[in-house]
Amino acid sequence: VVSFLKGSFLIKPTINTENKKTRRLKFIERRGKAIFRKSTKEWRVSAFFKSIAHHYDLVNTIASLGQHHHWRKFTVEKTNLSSGQRVLDVCCGTGMITKDLARKVGPRGNVVGLDLSPEMLAVAEKNLAD
């Protein structure tokens, strides 16, 4: 069984080492609840993966000269997973490793792919169907 979940970065307050003041998190209040805004970094990362989601696998193949297939196989082999186990694939992207992990754990196993980009997850679901 394979399923995909949309995740999000956790936003934590940080200490400014120059003046030792705690930075305040920006938030909006909606119906009496504080809802934290996405950080600028999270927004940039999200926008980047949204823009390349449908071409990510092709770009990965070209940029790695096809080596990513070997890296993926190596990574899955090093997990020492066996049939029936459960796996959480964090930042699963287009789900290529997720698909390989699902093969490794078999029909009795369970693999969950987690990513912050709905566009990457849409490609992952399509890749899984192929």
**CA R_g for the chain:** 18
| 25: pLDDT strictly greater than 80 | no
pLDDT at 101 > cutoff 70: yes
Averaged pLDDT of the chain:
79
Structure tokens at 28: 């909006």
Which of the two residues, 56 and 9, has the higher pLDDT score? 56
- Residue ranges covered by each domain of the chain: 2-9+33-129
Both tokens of 9, joined, read: 């970065």
What is the sign of the dihedral through the CA atoms of 70, 93, 95 and 35?
positive
Q: How many CB atoms lie within 10 A of CB 105?
A: 20
pTM of the model: 0.69
Report whether 49 contacts 119 (CB < 8 A). yes
**Distance from first CA to last CA of the chain, Å, rounded?**
15
Tokens for 109, please give them. Answer: 């196993």
Q: Is 105 left (phi over 0), alpha (psi -120 to 50) or beta?
A: alpha
pLDDT digits (tens, 9 = 90+) for 30-85: 555 555 555 677 778 888 888 999 999 999 999 999 999 999 999 999 999 999 99
- Please give the Cα distance from 44 to 119 (Å, whole number): 14
CATH 3.40.50.300 fits 2-9+33-129, yes or no: no
